[in-house]
Every structure is written in C-alpha cells, then in structure tokens.
Chains A and B, each alone.
Chain A
C-alpha cells in the first residue's frame, strides 16, 4: 500500500499525526483559536471573548475617516468581508444560551490620510494598519484604503464560531505592515488559456493571503490571447481560437477587480524570445531562420535589426501602457535562443556592421536597450528577467531585475543589488514544479535576504513572486496547485523575518486552508485531516 519510504521529514510528520489521532476529537471540542495568515507584525490577543450577532453587526466608516460611503472600494470591501465572516459558515445560530460574553457591535474603519480610494495601488502604496478589538466597537485605522483592505482581511480571520456556533472574537490589538512591497503571483495564460473567472478567483485568493501583485504572463510562444486594439491580427491569428482571447473588456474587468482588492496587475509581454505566436499576426516581426543558405519555414526571436520592429513595438506598448494602469510593464527578455539569429545572413551582416563579432548577447542587449528606451519614453518603468542584467545591457537606473534561475540565486541577488538595481525573487518559488509531499515547507523556509550584501543592497529587494507556469496547468488544476502552496510564499513576503516556526505555520495554514475552502477556493490539503 502506501510506502513508508517518504523521507525522514514526512515520517516524523506522520508519527506526530498518528500520536495526535486519539486527541483529535478532544482538540476539536476545545475552543478554536483564530488562525491568522500571514501572521501580522504584532498581535496581542486578550483571553476576553466578545460575540458578534450577524443581524446587528456592521462594518462602517469611522467618523473622522477621509473616506465615506462614496468610496466604492471600501463599500464593496465591507460587504465582501461581512459575507466572509458570517455567510460562509454552516449553521447560523444566535448567541449561545448560557454565555455572558459582551457584544461587539461594529467595526469602524478610519482612513487617516488622503484615501486613494479611486486610485490604483502602486509599489509604494502604504498597506499598514492597526486594529483594536474592544467591546462595543472595534477600530481599524489605516493611512490609505490599501491598509484598510489588509486590516479587513485580518479582522475576518479573527472571527470564529465557538462550539455553540456563536460568532466570537478575542479582544485584540494588532499592528501590521508588510515586510516586502512586492508580493506577487505569476500566472501564464499562453501555454494554457485561463478563463477570466479563474483569474478573478485567483485574485480573491490572493487577497486572502495579502498578495498585492498579479504578474500576468499573458502571451508566449504557444498563443497570443491578448486582443490588441491597434493590432487585432495578433490575437486573431495568434490565439488558440477566437474564444481563447482576452478582450479589452476582460482586461478592464481584471484590472478593476484587482484594484478593488488592492492588487496591482503587471502585464508581461515577453520579447525578443518566447514570441512565436506574435509572428502569425504580424508579418516580418520574427527572424527568419536559415538552414545553410536556404530560408526555412521556422521563425526565431523578434528581428532586432529592422526599424519596422521598433515602430511596431512603440505602437503596441503605447496601447499596453494605457490599457494596464500599473506603473510597471514586464518586458521579459529571458531565454533568447541565438541559433536562428546566427543562421540568418542579414543578421550576420548587421552584427558585423555593429561590431558585435559573434557575441549574440550584444545583439540581444541592443534590442533590449531600444525597447527599454521606448518604455521609458512612455513614463513607465520596466521589469526584466535576470538574463537582461546578465547580458550587461546598459540598463536605466530603476529597472527591476527578476531573479528566476534556481542556481546560485542568492549570489545573483547580491550582484543585482550591488549594481544598484531593485530585485524581485522568484527562483525558489516555481510552484509548477510539483513533487510528492509537503513542498510548502521548502517555500516557507526561504529567506529572501539571505545573501551577501549591505543593508542598502537588501533594501533593493522589493519582494518576490510565486510562479505558476502553464505548461501543465489550466483551469482544471490551477487552484489546488496554487493554494495553499503559494500561501507559504505569501507569509514569507508579508511577515517578519523571524516567523519561521514550521509546526506553528502548519497549524495556522491548515486552518487557513479550510477557511479558503469555505470561501470557495478549492485549496488542496496540506496533509491528512479534514475541514468541517
């Protein structure tokens, strides 16, 4: 049957679980405690319990708040979190009959500075908040709406049903803010198309885990589902089918849904490699590959020597920079295959003319620099995969380098930050690489700042991203593959550096996973057990 040869860690865990089994019933009967995920910076829980009545409890704007009922973002969040707190449980009951808990009647949410209610979140957006739970009213204070969103999530995680079914909360003081500014999830809609519904569901789950960036790797070799207004042929010819596309309306739906949850949407249009699907709808964009002196019918990366290439890119990115409100655009730049360039006689001439010799990284840099300049001229900032840094392109200061190669990623972070560039880490968090057992532990134990470097260098690490590449992932398996494994990354990027206790994390995450299930996210189990 099931082999015991699972490795020592799994064995220990199994042993612990079996030892616990007789006690499981007991634990279930005891009062449940709130499971906060990710763990806030400072939590003081008092043993004093308050009760909430679904019929009368409400979330409202504080009297001195700079935001009011005209702030749709908060209005919607209030309604959403009321539902998460009350209507996702079974068995509604009134107060337990013989309990004399005081009642918590209201949560006041107060924004203290300009609310940013109608803005899009930015990398520098303030997400800090303080939460005070005391009878009869709780108070959530944040400088901006973004902190209020995070605080509402925390508040909702504090409420639980006691064994009588009464909604209960401990008196509490919480002071919280994220450790890293950039906490992202990468989805890939090119290897497999993901229906908009799946993307929206992912945004919901991201909010439950305080993620704030959706890195949308929207196109790649396999398909071009982004429907461009300027170049409609790109998706007409390059998508899997005409129903496997994202219309401008779809994109707006995603960016707005994300905004309402305090999540930025960073689109990635990866070039000059990973662009085969672009070629179908845009003639002469890709490099023609040769076999000896004869052109073949295969295409390579974008052709970097033609002026038409840059005219096209300027127009396309002009559109993208408007459609996607975020200040950043991801330009890719990874895994450029040089064979095709090398085979093409025109490219060889161009190389000679430019004095690049046989060094195709120079040609790649030539291309990337021109592209980076185009983006800069649109007042946008660029993110690129680490190869662009490795190839010694002359990068504008402020260009963000995303480190994805697992080998020596710490020293790569060290080099990138030593050169003064901001960095995003995703190398240890490729969630598409699945394996048997509890791999979330491995993701959890990563320390992003564990590299050689000065304090100033460490400050350049903006954060990280969990990546779920799409070769083997589509709407059928995305959600259970992402959650709760990505939650481990979520806590690593939000909580303090010293929050590393695996068994405490296991207990909280197992409960958090059940909470996600209640909220309609089919997050897979961490290990043996059950949710009620």
Chain B
C-alpha cells in the first residue's frame, strides 16, 4: 500500500522532469500535473489575500515575501512583462491567506505550521492557519518553481496539503569548542528554514569557552571567552539571532549546561566551581559547579533571571550531562556535606543540585529541556520536563531509552542517531534517514510524547571553515525525517530529491557538499 503510493510519487516525479524534483522535505500530500504556468519575474508578486487575517505590515510575512522573491528570481533586472497579450498560462500573484492574526509573537512548541498550496487555472493560493504555516508554504512554493533551458520560470499545476509530523525539529550548534561568527549562525538559520527546521538549539557555552556576554556577570565572557573582544556574543548579537530566527519561524533554545561542562565559567565567577584535591591539598584544578555553597544558587538565580528574559522561548536547556564525580569525590568539604545530607551516592548530590536549579528556573515561568542523564540518575523533575536522548547504546539503546522516558510520562527529544559531527566515508546520510523515531514498544499515548528530535553538530572539530559543508545536506536528512510522513522512507526517492535539493542550496549560495558523484549547473565558487 505504502509502496504503491510511493511508486506513484516516483512516476509523478519522472513526469515532472525537474519540476518538483527538489521538494525537500517531502510534503504529506502532493498532487501535481504536467500542466504548467509561467512566472514573469517583473510582474510576479506575493500578496495578502483580501480575506486573510494578516495584511501588509506584518513583518514576518513582508520580510518573507522579499526574501523569497529574491530566492526565486535573483536581484534582477528582469525583462518587463510583455503587455501585448496577457498570457493566460501565467501566474502573477501568489495570494497568501492566514486564518489567525498575530504577527509579533515568537513561534512556540505549540505553533501550527500546516498549510495548503493550490495552483491551478483558477487559483494560486497559499492558505495557512498561522504565519508560521505560511512561511513553510512559501518555502515549498519556492521549491516548486523551476527554470527552463531558456531561463523561463515555471510552476506546475499542483495541490499540496502539508503539516509537520513532529513539532520540535531542531539543529544544535556548539559555539564553545569553536566560536562561530554571527554570520555563520545567521546563515545557518536561513538554511534551516529551507529545510523546515524550527528550533535552533544554541549550545552557547561549555568547558573550553564562554562567549555569551552576560549583562549581569560581564566577567564570565571577559575571563572565560577565547577573546573578550572578538570571540563573544554581545546582547545585541543575541537579539539579532533571536529576531532573525523569529522571522523564519525558528525558536531559539538556549543551553547553559551545568553542573558539568562549566570549566569556562570558573575564571569569571570565583568559587563557583569545585576545587579538586590531590590528597589533602587542592590540586589547582577545578571540577563541576560546587553544589554545596549557597553562593552557587544565588549566582544561578541572578544568572538565569537574565537568561530567562534575554531568551524569549518558553524552554531553556539546562544540560545536566556527563557530570564527572572524580573532583567532587576528592573534595573534603563535599564529603562532609554528603555525610550531613545522608547521601551515599554522588548521583544524589547531582540530583540535589539539579533540583535546586530546576526550582530556580521554574520560578521564572520557564520550561526546561535536559539531557538524558538527569532522567537516568532519577532526579526528581517536573512532569512537563523534556528529556533529550543522546546516548547511542548506554545505559540502553536510544530507542529503549525513548521507551523508558515516555513510559515514565515525560516528553522526549531524539538526537542520538543524528550526531552530524560524527563523520565517516561515504553516504552516511542513509543511516540517519532510516531512523524511525517511534520505533519502540509503547502505547499511542507514549508515542505522542515524542515531540521531535535534533541534529547535533558538536564543535570539537568544527568551526566556520567546515561547518556548512558538514551540516548540509546531511542536516536536511534529519529535517525530512521529522517533517515528512513515516511512509516517506524510500532511499532512492530521497537520494534523487536530495541531490536536486543540494544543487538548489548551491544556487542559493549555500556551500552544501555532494552526496554522490555528479554535478550541479551552478557549482560553488570560492571567493
């Protein structure tokens, strides 16, 4: 059944011959015909439908119209539309109709992104419940337009009904192992929108550096960044990222990972980190955040007060992964504290810290995402906590972990199979594509708790020199898995479209690497 539907799609694709071949991710329902309409760059415009709840003045759509015009036709100039005879086979307007008004909000986990595109003799219409759905539809529209050998723009008669399979479709960038210039982040947001990804998970700080320029604690980046002048994100930078993302329907999920992965916090905040001991003497090295001091929680309160207001998304990512107990174990004050509290396991100490941190953040009316260790170590968390599953095989396979997390009633995010920084020779995208996020033993209610996933690009070996080709089009593979139907699994069909889509990315100026031998009409040129 699924197979024959797919066969039909494949046939369709062949019939379209380059027309819709670059659709990525594949929409839920596509019906196309060989009948085509011409688009005349000088005449064509995106317009708000008269019945739309959203009219000119909505910055999200106004900016998107400008953006997609340029993506479609370039900067011009174009030949003036011939006035001699109105060609009845041309489309000069895509009318956009949105049901819900509301333009100045930020996208949320609950935002609707569904849309329909209808292009036929009578209509050229994009309809959506929200502006976010309209953005997704504009992207699809732009992927439907193709150019003939003579340079004429066409779109085929098409009906598309589309919606995301999962509401959280993320990409993680790590700006601590290597600093990424603001332009790299903004460019990434653009390409995310081409792939209908909607969450930028910003792993902004970690052991090696603290590039986030805090207003409350400026010493953090002054002492903890690679370079306090050039390798930081100022408040203005952060605002720019958030706004750039909003205009593309992308949420910014900020991660401030603790109590481990915090070495770079230490220089700016004396006594925040645990001093490690060698025998009875401090060794001069530092471990995780010191969980036994009141000053720690006072700092965290002030710091996360700032973070909660700087980052508008309801969710913050609090990390909580890979806490190394060696240093805590070595420290005599910690041992005394453990005894006093009756802890016999350092996981209890970790839980103690995390719970206090979660209480702090909850008080600021924020939700939170944490890495799976917080769940594995049985930290008591609020029922609406989101658990991000990242470990491949331990303590259990990632699918078993998703089953455990959802069985316990928590929502889950999957990223274990999608570590884009793990590179290998050959078409490794296929394994990432084959992942089925709901392939675990669980009730429908439990499966509904999987809210999506994230492709992760950790920064140990990645900076702005190699980020883009390593991200794209491999990151797009995860995007399709999270957007498209669970039946969209045929590898040959995916390879054909992904190859086209990669060339489309090149045409849009994205340095996306090849997935197999071949060429694009427009190759990447070094500047």
Mask, A466-480, CB within 8 Å of B = 1, is 000011111111011
Contact for B465 among A18, A432, A525, A529, CB less than 8 A:
A525
Beta-carbon contact of B285 and A480 below 8 Å? no
A99 to B322, CA, bound (A): 49
Closest to B421 in A: A436
Contact for A4 among B179, B264, B322, B468, CB less than 8 A:
B322
Mask, A513-530, CB within 8 Å of B = 1, is 000010000111101111
Q: Which of A192-200, A249-257, A498-506 is the interface stretch?
A: A192-200
Beta-carbon contact of B261 and A1 below 8 Å? yes
Least CB distance from B362 to A in Å reads 22
**Interface flag for B177 (CB, 8 Å):** yes
Beta-carbon contact of A192 and B514 below 8 Å? yes
Least CB distance from A280 to B in Å reads 15
Q: In chain B between 220 and 277, which residues have their CB closer than 8 angstroms to a CB of chain A?
A: 223, 226-227, 230-231, 257, 261, 263-264, 266-267
- Size of the B side of the interface (Cβ < 8 Å), in residues, is 62
Beta-carbon contact of A517 and B465 below 8 Å? yes
Interface residues on chain A, size class? 35 or more
Mask, B443-472, CB within 8 Å of A = 1, is 000000000000010111111111011100
**Interface flag for B319 (CB, 8 Å):** yes
Chain A residues in 8 Å Cβ range of B519: 192-193, 223, 240-241, 244
A contact face: mostly helix, strand, loop, or mixed: loop
**Interface flag for B392 (CB, 8 Å):** yes
* Most central of B207, B464, B523 by chain A CB within 10 Å: B523
A18 to B460, CA, bound (A): 13
Chain A residues in 8 Å Cβ range of B227: 530, 532
Mask, A1-21, CB within 8 Å of B = 1, is 111100000000000011101
**Interface flag for A433 (CB, 8 Å):** yes
Beta-carbon contact of B208 and A476 below 8 Å? no
Beta-carbon contact of B461 and A527 below 8 Å? yes
Beta-carbon contact of A525 and B322 below 8 Å? no
Beta-carbon contact of A532 and B230 below 8 Å? yes
Contact for A525 among B178, B426, B512, CB less than 8 A:
B178
A258 to B103, CA, bound (A): 57
Least CB distance from A482 to B in Å reads 11
Closest to B510 in A: A476
**Interface flag for B150 (CB, 8 Å):** no
**Interface flag for A318 (CB, 8 Å):** no
**Interface flag for B521 (CB, 8 Å):** yes
Contact for A476 among B223, B391, B469, CB less than 8 A:
B469
A290 to B89, CA, bound (A): 49
Beta-carbon contact of B425 and A433 below 8 Å? yes
Beta-carbon contact of A522 and B518 below 8 Å? no
Beta-carbon contact of B466 and A480 below 8 Å? yes
A198 to B321, CA, bound (A): 42
Chain A residues in 8 Å Cβ range of B524: 195, 474-476
**Interface flag for A311 (CB, 8 Å):** no
Beta-carbon contact of A22 and B178 below 8 Å? no
A1 to B209, CA, bound (A): 17
**Interface flag for B525 (CB, 8 Å):** yes
Chain B residues in 8 Å Cβ range of A522: 464-466
Beta-carbon contact of B371 and A480 below 8 Å? no
Beta-carbon contact of B391 and A477 below 8 Å? no
**Interface flag for A141 (CB, 8 Å):** no
Chain A residues in 8 Å Cβ range of B226: 24, 529-530
Least CB distance from B461 to A in Å reads 6
Mask, B199-224, CB within 8 Å of A = 1, is 00001000111000000000000010
A198 to B524, CA, bound (A): 10
Chain B residues in 8 Å Cβ range of A532: 227, 230
**Interface flag for A144 (CB, 8 Å):** no
Beta-carbon contact of A530 and B518 below 8 Å? no
**Interface flag for B64 (CB, 8 Å):** no
Least CB distance from A339 to B in Å reads 21
Contact for A1 among B286, B371, B462, CB less than 8 A:
B371
**Interface flag for B17 (CB, 8 Å):** no
Chain B residues in 8 Å Cβ range of A517: 465
Beta-carbon contact of B469 and A18 below 8 Å? no
Chain A residues in 8 Å Cβ range of B459: 528
Q: Which residues of A contact B (CB under 8 A)?
A: 1-4, 17-19, 21-22, 24-25, 191-193, 195, 197-198, 201, 222-223, 240-241, 244, 432-438, 470-477, 479-481, 517, 522-525, 527-530, 532
Q: Which residues of B contact A (CB under 8 A)?
A: 177-179, 203, 207-209, 223, 226-227, 230-231, 257, 261, 263-264, 266-267, 285-286, 319, 321-322, 371, 390-392, 421-427, 456, 458-466, 468-470, 506, 511-519, 521, 523-526
Interchain residue pairs A-B with the least CB separation, the first 4: A480-B466, A477-B469, A240-B519, A530-B226
A/B interface sample: 24 pairs, CB < 8 A: A1-B203, A1-B321, A1-B390, A3-B391, A21-B264, A22-B286, A25-B267, A191-B517, A192-B518, A222-B518, A241-B521, A436-B421, A436-B424, A438-B461, A472-B427, A474-B513, A474-B514, A475-B526, A477-B466, A477-B511, A523-B465, A524-B463, A525-B178, A527-B460
Given A1-B322, A475-B523, 6 further pairs, Cβ under 8 A: A3-B391, A25-B223, A434-B423, A476-B506, A477-B514, A528-B459
